[in-house]
Amino acid sequence: MKDLLYIWKSRWFAFVHDMAWVGLAVYLAFSFRFDFGEIPAHHVQAAWSFFYVALPILLISYWFFGLYRGIWRFASLPDLQRILQAVVVGSLTAYFILFIWLRLEGIPRSTLVLYPIILMGGLAGSRLFYRWLKDRKLKLSLIDAKRVLIVGAGEAGELLVRDILKREAYLPIGFLDDARAKKGMDIQGVRVLGDLSELSHIVVDLEIDEVFVALPAADKKILQTLVKQCSDLHVMCKTVPNLKEMAHHTVEASDLRSIRLEDLLGRDEINLDNQRVCEFIRGKTVMITGSGGSIGSELCRQMMTFKPANLIMLDHAEFNLYQIDNELKGLKNYKATKAVLGDIRDQERMEWVFNAFKPDIVFNAAAYKHVPLVEDNPSEGIKTNVLGTSMIADMAAKTGCDYFVQVSTDKAVNPANVMGATKRMAEIYCQNLNHRCETAFITTRFGNVLGSAGSVVPLFKQQIEAGGPVTVTHKDITRYFMTIPEAVSLILQAATMGDGGEIFVLDMGEPVKIIDMAKQMIRLAGLTPYDDIEIKFTGLRPGEKLFEELFHEAETLQGTIHPKIMLSGTRQVEWDEVQQRLVLMRQACRERDVPALIDLLQQLVPEFTPDKRLLH
């Protein structure tokens, strides 16, 4: 209420001020004409007539051209343009009426030129003078403000500094930009001081407190360099949103955020055929298992944008399922969702779910995926990842499901751990079941996702917050990474491309050294590796490989219509033999006979090289 009252008072003051200038401009125009001497009586009468006509016309012109949309404190070129338009149109209209009424009798021609010039000068000058006073006051008050350096003197940088100048919390000291032509230029009164290579000495010399990166399309290598330099200088580094986040095309200080690991490790934006995905999903009943997990919950989020007839969210973890269900409640088509508690290992529950909802498409994201935990609890991993997956795959085929999309992992390639072997077995089962039913079974395989429950990122974050040390298993260990939304988008895209039996391998870009990731995360926390946070090497864990692979040597890899999705070959198995092995697996799981389980897993996945301790 107070803000509205303040705005009303401000605009009323501006209105009275501008009306007063109409009369003052008329008086000064006539005074100039007679050299500030006495104005003859018949000219005085003409001046009053001029004033009576000009006042209501200028009032209308002021409002029509929006003189009171702007704020004097931020008077700028658009405000001056509106003043020019209002005065010119208002003056010409007044002259026309005066000509019709008085034939301009008693009005010297020179006043017709002087009047609009004086009026424009009065309206614009008052506003600019007010802004100058406020800016001067602001500069005096910015002694304690944070001194900021802006990297990027393009459009985003100009919009950012424009907004910063309105705030008392920051004092923009200068720009850095690699464009040589911009060096020495002023942008909103803030100078371009040099290029990015000069950041370190400029930060020190000018006592910079924070660095703002105004490069929405910044290359990750540039960001990595900036983060390292700012970390070494103990200066906070923030960035504007990237191009995808900045859909509204404005940049404000409130949009600034800390640089994230995704910014440093992310890849070029991937273009998706959303129309194709929409045609695949719209109007269908879709079930997502493991919908409370990292991949499953993001599948639910993205799925809702394509308007399925029904979305069945299945998970055995009550709290995780509650979280994603609660998150989707704000969506218009939330009524299409159904949160179902259930375990894919529970045959009775799964039969009820499939018969009750009869899904057209199933995305199976339910799995035990923590390598060390599954390594220590192999029977539980096999019960979920192999037996649970095969059971719901059979039910999908039995109930006439159109598509079954199996979410797999790069750890299924030449697996060195139980988790990878179980996921490989699930791939094999789905590929071969595809030839025995009408349901199309499609598998998508990719590496680690940043920020997922099984990722190393949350662990590193906890260790950094605790003051270290950050533990890395080996100095040369590498992994493939992509963001969760990116992985899910590619899963949806791959699902639309399959006819059944395929394994689609998502292009993960270049592998990332875990030691480099640890250093980046320490720097993002504003700390220096080894000085502030120690990094310790703990040795490879059981079942852990130095590097992951995305496809087997025996698999023939082909391109697809999407440059980021590749197609892997299939592996045929003796179906009756698989069924017999699965029966034996169920029995060994009930008896917790780990050596027997590992032996059966090796028979089904010959490339699996288990840890020796599991064989005894």
Alpha carbons 97 and 486: distance in angstroms, whole number: 66
For the packed helices 109-141 and 77-102, what is the interaxial angle rounded to 10 degrees? 160
The answer, yes or no, to whether residue 490 has pLDDT greater than 50, is: yes
Average pLDDT along the chain: 81
Query: Which alpha helices (H) appear in 466-574, and where do they start and end?
Result: 484-497, 514-524
What's domain 274-604's superfamily in CATH? NAD(P)-binding Rossmann-like Domain (3.40.50.720)
Asked if the domains at 145-259 and 274-604 fall in one CATH topology, the answer is yes
Residues with Cβ < 8 Å from 334, sequence gap 6 or more?
328
What's the average model confidence in pLDDT over 568-584?
83
Query: Which alpha helices (H) appear in 306-417, and where do they start and end?
Result: 318-328, 347-357, 371-376, 378-382, 389-398
Under the banding of pLDDT at 50, 70 and 90, the label for residue 358 is very high
pLDDT for the residue 2: 40
pLDDT for the residue 499: 85
Cβ 419 vs Cβ 411: under 8 Å: yes
Nearest CA to 528 among 584, 572, 464, 587? 464
Cβ 285 vs Cβ 258: under 8 Å: no
Q: Is the dihedral of CA 14, 16, 22, 28 positive or negative?
A: negative
Nearest CA to 604 among 426, 400, 402, 342? 426
Alpha carbons 77 and 162: distance in angstroms, whole number: 13
* Residue in the structure block whose two tokens are 């000291």: 173
Q: If you count them, how many residues does the chain have?
A: 616
The answer, yes or no, to whether residue 480 has pLDDT greater than 80, is: no
What's the average model confidence in pLDDT over 339-358?
95
Pairing of strands 210-213, 146-151: parallel
Q: Phi and psi dihedrals of 492, rounded to 5?
A: -65, -40
Q: Which of 383, 411, 423, 564 is catalytic?
A: 411
Tell me the CA distances in angstroms from 23 to 12, 18, 86, 111, 515, one per residue in order.
17, 9, 16, 13, 75
Alpha carbons 272 and 260: distance in angstroms, whole number: 23
The answer, yes or no, to whether residue 496 has pLDDT greater than 70, is: yes
Q: Which amino acid is at 309?
A: A
Residue extents of the structural domains in the chain: 2-139, 145-259, 274-604
Cβ 263 vs Cβ 223: under 8 Å: yes
For 265, the token pair is 């490790």
CATH architecture of 145-259: 3-Layer(aba) Sandwich (3.40)
pLDDT digits (tens, 9 = 90+) for 427-442: 999 999 998 999 999 9
Between 119-123, 237-241, 288-292, 414-418, the lowest mean confidence (pLDDT) is in: 119-123
Nearest CA to 538 among 420, 372, 373? 372
Say what percent of the chain tops pLDDT 70.
82
Pairing of strands 503-506, 565-568: antiparallel
Alpha carbons 513 and 70: distance in angstroms, whole number: 53
pLDDT for the residue 1: 42
Gyration radius from the chain CA atoms = 35
What's the average model confidence in pLDDT over 126-137?
64
Q: Is 9 a residue of the active site?
A: no
* Residue in the structure block whose two tokens are 């995360």: 521
Strand order in 337-341's β-sheet? 337-341, 310-315, 285-289, 361-364, 403-409, 440-446, 503-506, 565-568, 558-559
Alpha carbons 605 and 415: distance in angstroms, whole number: 9
pLDDT for the residue 133: 62
Give the largest Cα separation in the chain, rounded. Answer: 120
